[in-house]
Amino acid sequence: MLKKELVSVIITTKNEGAVLRRLLRSIKDQLHKNIEIIVVDNNSIDNTKKIALEFTRSVYNFGPERSAQRNHGAKKSKGKYLIFLDADMELTKNVVKDCMCLMNSDKKMGGAVIPEKSIARSYWEKVKAFEREFYNEHGDPITDAARFFKKNVFVMMKK
């Protein structure tokens, strides 16, 4: 049953050409394959959109900021589930499958937090990783946010 359910991966970008390909490859490597990738870009001047188009036709230009971009991506999505990602992330191969299983294990559950671990390769990623070290190393409920939602719950939350 889970294999047929579509998951919409919504990625917000602005000049993310240096990191976007890594995330997109990790999405393509997911164990769950029924995924649509939606990239919502905010007027990038680098090669972000070109890289995104290598992986999906669903590339939109929309702003002015991340929340508006996410809402626009959700509006364009076709999946039963939504996952919101930042371009500098990288997923382990079972993240989408595990989130779907979690959602289906409890029908009352509408969203899930995906624990984040900073992988620092570039200078700015190292800065971000350093900042995260100041938070609880096992996940911080104040700074970690839900990223995976049942679409009907996300749409209902916006009203």
Cβ 38 vs Cβ 9: under 8 Å: yes
Cβ 104 vs Cβ 2: under 8 Å: yes
What pLDDT sits at residue 85? 95
54 has a pLDDT exceeding 70: yes
Predicted structure pTM score: 0.86
Write out the two tokens for 15: 């000049």
Looking at residue 37, the DSSP 8-state letter turns out to be E
What pLDDT sits at residue 28? 97
Per DSSP bridges, beta strands 7-13 and 81-86 are parallel
Cα separation of the two ends of the chain: 30
| Nearest C-alpha neighbor of 30 from the set 107, 85, 110 | 85
What is the CATH superfamily name and number for domain 2-118+145-154?
Spore Coat Polysaccharide Biosynthesis Protein SpsA; Chain A (3.90.550.10)
Structure confidence at residue 110 as a pLDDT band (50, 70, 90): very high
Q: Crossing angle of helices 48-55/20-28, nearest 10°?
A: 10
